Chain A
């Protein structure tokens, strides 16, 4: 079943006061997301990720194109009941406590009284701030607010959650928690659509990713389709190596990086037989530390795509006037 579908979704903003020029924040986005997917929406800052999320939650209206969530318009109240949303760097109400905030939102979903409060407490525990639930939100740190944001995003046990930079503001422990939460959501049958510019998260979590650069979707598909998992080289870390000895290996080694005194990271091309190289290095007095294959990562792909896209349209996303 299709959870989310967009068709030629475009958003223009009028920029400037006297003679507004249209700025294309999102250009012709066509996506299709199946139920129970974890979809990573990746792109550099300003690419249009947040714009897309706001369109999907109908905080802004498209200039053209269509959106369908479970077959309905995003503004449909039935859809609203099944959605969760975490905005980037969320802000809530200073004068409420975390518990009161969730009770407020729960009330909007029709939860009442004891059931509502119980659910609020349970969720706050789940995101790790159960102890602070009676604290006014004005006293919350950025990371704590992020957790509250997650809690309110899943308050109604949604069928699809939209998360805008869910890891932002969190320390490594927090990020690990969020990852666990996302996987848990997936296990429960929820569809997760999250945006990020941190690629390692996507690698760890997503079944599919989409990459957006300059308002345009560059590619979308499963990770294994996008990346070639060929080995592109070998990295050997050696210690106790004489610099003079290193010179002898210049032909076989693509690059040598000095880590510390007599300790080097050597990069050899893919065709090398790594075992032979290691043996030769040891023969010349080096002490073998580690051997790792170099694979093309999402980051490489990403950087390459961004550069290509930027070369293509140096003028940027201002539309021609008129």
Chain B
């Protein structure tokens, strides 16, 4: 038989060649997709939401897959938050955060983590969130209607009022309501009382955040609380430094131009840093003359912290 090839299957090298061709084609396809995604990232999520509004008919439309769809939109909600927060664009609107969380909780009214995520991050002001405390409260109220035994929602609502709205009376009322729910921890009652008495001062704030830190169920809740605690500590440090700046200004008649000036007088041993390790800055425009550096992870300190303490109506 003159033909060197056997009459068997296509030889191994043909198989390898075809597989290589398929792999190259597939890789090229993925490359094109990556190029497209880089230029036009938003096109997919937006198109859904242009059309899909949460409403009572939505779970029925989901044909029994509402749980799965809720998970899907939860993933997208987190993705949207993360992408927006990390993006370098100056205009961070977090436009889709509430609609997405709304969708998730409509499809699955017991999707606890979505409510709690919304409680924290919907209320966060620019640049870390859309700054919509009202939406956060609305979401939590819905959550309580669906799941009245979930005291955490009431506690979170209390936080939002305390923190972002600075409405201490309302906050106390929410903490009280939370305390009455069976299974709620003991300290909520005392929290309600202290909020009413001294809402707004640093000590009760610190107590609040510490409680949240210790009882946190999720990593990001813990991290958020820890950040707030560090900011409170920073404020303590700033108060002490403000005292020094005041003395200097009174003594020399002018505002210190650097920390070295204070160091020269022997009042400081080293450049003062905030709890994150970043140096404080001298800032004439600030009330105490001291501020947290913009490069610090603690920047900006929320206005709620710097407000004076005292019961308010």
A and B touch in the complex (CB under 8 A): yes
Binding site for B on A (CB under 8 A): 5, 7, 55, 58, 61-62, 66-68, 71-76
Residues of chain A within 8 A of B43, CB atoms compared: none
- B18, chain A: closest CB distance, angstroms: 16
Binding site for A on B (CB under 8 A): 1-3, 5-9
Residues of chain A within 8 A of B8, CB atoms compared: 61-62
A75–B3 Cα gap in the complex (Å)?
11
Residues of chain A within 8 A of B2, CB atoms compared: 68, 71-72
- B242, chain A: closest CB distance, angstroms: 80
Q: Which residue of B lies closest to A55 (CB)?
A: B7
A74–B1 Cα gap in the complex (Å)?
12
- A52, chain B: closest CB distance, angstroms: 13
Residues of chain B within 8 A of A55, CB atoms compared: 7
The DSSP consensus for interface residues of chain B is loop
Residues of chain A within 8 A of B5, CB atoms compared: 73
List 7 A–B pairs whose Cβ atoms lie within 8 Å, in order of A's numbering.
Answer: A58-B7, A61-B9, A68-B3, A68-B7, A71-B3, A72-B3, A73-B7
- B279, chain A: closest CB distance, angstroms: 71
A259–B8 Cα gap in the complex (Å)?
57
* Number of interchain pairs (Cβ within 8 Å): 30
Contacting pair A61 B1 (CB below 8 A): no
- B193, chain A: closest CB distance, angstroms: 71
Contacting pair B7 A61 (CB below 8 A): yes
- A58-B7, A67-B7, A71-B1 known, 12 other contacts, Cβ within 8 Å: A61-B9, A62-B7, A66-B1, A66-B6, A68-B1, A68-B2, A68-B3, A71-B2, A72-B3, A73-B5, A73-B6, A76-B3
Q: Which residue among B5, B6, B8 has the maximum number of chain A CB atoms within 10 Å of its CB? A: B8
A66–B6 Cα gap in the complex (Å)?
6
- A196, chain B: closest CB distance, angstroms: 24
Contacting pair A73 B3 (CB below 8 A): yes
Residues of chain B within 8 A of A61, CB atoms compared: 7-9
- A77, chain B: closest CB distance, angstroms: 13
A67–B9 Cα gap in the complex (Å)?
13
Q: Nearest 6 pairs between A and B by C-beta?
A: A68-B1, A67-B7, A61-B9, A71-B2, A73-B3, A73-B7
Q: Which residue of B lies closest to A2 (CB)?
A: B1
Residues of chain A within 8 A of B6, CB atoms compared: 62, 66, 73
Q: Which residue of B lies closest to A5 (CB)?
A: B1
Residues of chain A within 8 A of B7, CB atoms compared: 55, 58, 61-62, 66-68, 73-75
Q: Which residue of A lies closest to B7 (CB)?
A: A67
Residues of chain B within 8 A of A67, CB atoms compared: 7
A75–B5 Cα gap in the complex (Å)?
10
Residues of chain B within 8 A of A58, CB atoms compared: 7
- B12, chain A: closest CB distance, angstroms: 13
A249–B206 Cα gap in the complex (Å)?
131
A76–B1 Cα gap in the complex (Å)?
14
A16–B251 Cα gap in the complex (Å)?
99
A96–B7 Cα gap in the complex (Å)?
33
Residues of chain B within 8 A of A74, CB atoms compared: 7
- B303, chain A: closest CB distance, angstroms: 71
A61–B15 Cα gap in the complex (Å)?
15
Q: Which residue of B lies closest to A76 (CB)?
A: B3
Residues of chain B within 8 A of A62, CB atoms compared: 6-8
Residues of chain A within 8 A of B9, CB atoms compared: 61
Q: Which residue of A lies closest to B5 (CB)?
A: A73
- B126, chain A: closest CB distance, angstroms: 63
Residues of chain B within 8 A of A72, CB atoms compared: 2-3
- B265, chain A: closest CB distance, angstroms: 88
A67–B3 Cα gap in the complex (Å)?
10
Residues of chain B within 8 A of A66, CB atoms compared: 1, 6-7
A62–B6 Cα gap in the complex (Å)?
9
A72–B3 Cα gap in the complex (Å)?
5
Q: Which residue of A lies closest to B6 (CB)?
A: A66
A7–B7 Cα gap in the complex (Å)?
11
Residues of chain A within 8 A of B3, CB atoms compared: 68, 71-73, 76
A73–B6 Cα gap in the complex (Å)?
7
- B8, chain A: closest CB distance, angstroms: 5
- B150, chain A: closest CB distance, angstroms: 51
Q: Which residue among B7, B8, B9 has the maximum number of chain A CB atoms within 10 Å of its CB? A: B7
A75–B2 Cα gap in the complex (Å)?
14
- B146, chain A: closest CB distance, angstroms: 50
A57–B5 Cα gap in the complex (Å)?
16
Q: Which residue of B lies closest to A64 (CB)?
A: B8
A55–B8 Cα gap in the complex (Å)?
9
A68–B6 Cα gap in the complex (Å)?
9
Q: Which residue of B lies closest to A58 (CB)?
A: B7
A61–B9 Cα gap in the complex (Å)?
6
- A270, chain B: closest CB distance, angstroms: 47
- A242, chain B: closest CB distance, angstroms: 68
Residues of chain B within 8 A of A71, CB atoms compared: 1-3
Q: Which residue of A lies closest to B2 (CB)?
A: A71
- A215, chain B: closest CB distance, angstroms: 18
A68–B138 Cα gap in the complex (Å)?
82
A71–B8 Cα gap in the complex (Å)?
15
- A248, chain B: closest CB distance, angstroms: 66
A156–B67 Cα gap in the complex (Å)?
63
Q: Which residue of B lies closest to A74 (CB)?
A: B7
Q: Which residue among B1, B5, B6 has the maximum number of chain A CB atoms within 10 Å of its CB? A: B1
- B205, chain A: closest CB distance, angstroms: 68
A89–B53 Cα gap in the complex (Å)?
61
Q: Which residue among A5, A7, A73 has the maximum number of chain B CB atoms within 10 Å of its CB? A: A73
- B55, chain A: closest CB distance, angstroms: 50
